[in-house]
A and B are shown apart, each in its own frame.
Chain A
Amino acid sequence: MKFCTVKQYFDDENNNNVTNGIATTVIPLPNKHLKIKANNKEMEQYEQELLRNVMPQELTKLILAANYLNFKEALDFFCRTVANAIQNKSVDYVRKFFGLESDFEPGEEEKLCKEFAWSFEGVDED
């Protein structure tokens, strides 16, 4: 079933231009998964090797590709990698790291603070 999606992906002319890097990275993953499915450690090492040369922006493309191909294991892996990269960092740091900008209107961010105030206020133990 995965290969049907891949075929459709390549057949779609509109996508021809942007697939190369992603194809070489994402497509081999299912085969690799099957080969060393039983060995988690080896898979981990392979995945670490894979991502050593990937820029933060590339991760976005990888996530989009894995999402389109409905490849759950790759999607989970790439999302987890992003999460690890931005854990415990400030919002400003995360924005800079991934080239994100806030698209909120001036008043909206304040409203947002109120919306999520419950998660920051108070201490849990007495």
Chain B
Amino acid sequence: MGANFSALFFGQEGSNACSNGSNLALQSKPNLGDLPEDCVALILGYFDPPEICKLASMNRAFRGASWADFVWESKLPSNYEVLLQKVFDDVPENLGKRQIYERLCRANSFDGGTKRVWLHKRTGGVCLSIASKGLAITGIDDRRYWNHIPTEESRFCTVAYLQQIWWFEVDGEVDFPLPTGSYSVFFKLQLGRASKRFGRRICNSEHVHGWDIKPVQFQLWTSDGQHAASKCFLKETGKWNYYHVGTFVVDSSNASTKIKFSMTQIDCTHTKGGLCLDSVVIYPNEFKERLTHF
């Protein structure tokens, strides 16, 4: 800090020339536009990234300040360097912190395109999504049971559609250097198969059956011994819902966290079907309320 104070005041045209000390404060009113960039940057540091970007359009000083590394460093996850290495084969050099934040906010692919990771723009929280093609689905190779269908409703452009099956089981895992914090795992599912006809979204629910007989079981395990389980009935045909599996905690962001999750309904006294499986998502726990089905 310690910007040159007197130069600032003498820089103002004609507004500071008064020799009468007593009411100079009234005669010259430096406004916020006269603040040096490093002070503006201190102010910007109190805002979240979208607000910083919005305020950057105030004037040149705000725009310049919005590029300050120390502002963006405080928004990045603590292990952002590890994240960059995981996500990019060639980490570009000489990137400012703001550019790093921007890059990480994009849904970057890894593990052969079956998984995506991005920062939540406002909070900088790390979010993961595992595509249906990245999950181990029992019977996926048998077209009588499951099919991959293209759709614009998925960020992966394809979902797995279940026509009918006795033994329903979906497993998956992800190994990722999540920053310290607590996270929730969800399955993104829809009863019924949506399509567009004449520009309108319609949902075909002819195969939807068996989900109201016994509940579905969800579970997760982490490599450091955490375990969570839940069960519920699937409801609401024609709408994508996030079904909460459970919560886990990462307490050391130096290590990579391995998370396994599963969804099962293996009561073989009845078949079930008509289900679209989009993905499994892992979000910071603060988003749980927003996404929870119930």
Instruction: Report which A residues bind B (CB closer than 8 A).
Output: 9, 12, 14-18, 20-21, 56-57, 59-61, 63-65, 67-68, 70, 72, 75-76, 79-80, 82-84, 86-88, 91, 94-95, 98-104, 109, 112-113, 115-116, 118-120, 124-126
For A82, give its contact among B9, B18, B32, B240 (CB under 8 Å): B32
Q: Are A124 and B120 in contact (CB under 8 A)?
A: yes
Task: Identify the stretch in B36-44, B138-146, B207-215 within 8 Å (CB) of chain A at 4 or more residues.
Answer: B36-44
* Nearest CB in chain B: distance from A122 CB, A: 8
B268 interfacial contact with A, CB 8 Å: no
Q: Which of A18, A60, A84 is the most central at the interface, judged by chain B CB atoms within 10 Å of its CB? A: A18
Q: Write out the residue numbers on chain A whose beta carbons fall within 8 Å of the beta carbon of B173.
A: none
Q: Write out the residue numbers on chain A whose beta carbons fall within 8 Å of the beta carbon of B22.
A: 20
Q: Are B63 and A83 in contact (CB under 8 A)?
A: no
* Nearest CB in chain B: distance from A7 CB, A: 14
Q: Are A118 and B105 in contact (CB under 8 A)?
A: yes
Chain B residues 19 to 60 lying within 8 A of chain A, measured CB to CB, are 19, 21-22, 24-25, 28-36, 38-39, 42-43, 45-47, 49-60
* Nearest CB in chain B: distance from A5 CB, A: 8
A15 to B50, CA, bound (A): 38
Q: Write out the residue numbers on chain A whose beta carbons fall within 8 Å of the beta carbon of B281.
A: 126
Q: Are B46 and A63 in contact (CB under 8 A)?
A: no
Q: Are A63 and B35 in contact (CB under 8 A)?
A: yes
The total of Cβ contacts below 8 Å across the A-B interface reads: 151
For B5, give its contact among A57, A67, A86 (CB under 8 Å): A67
- Residue of A whose beta carbon sits closest to that of B42: A79
A61 to B12, CA, bound (A): 14
A102-B59, A104-B60 given; A126·B3 CB < 8 A:
no
Q: Are B36 and A67 in contact (CB under 8 A)?
A: yes
Chain B residues 266 to 283 lying within 8 A of chain A, measured CB to CB, are 278-279, 281, 283
B235 interfacial contact with A, CB 8 Å: no
Q: Are A64 and B49 in contact (CB under 8 A)?
A: no
Q: Are B105 and A79 in contact (CB under 8 A)?
A: no
A101 to B34, CA, bound (A): 11
Q: Are A57 and B30 in contact (CB under 8 A)?
A: yes
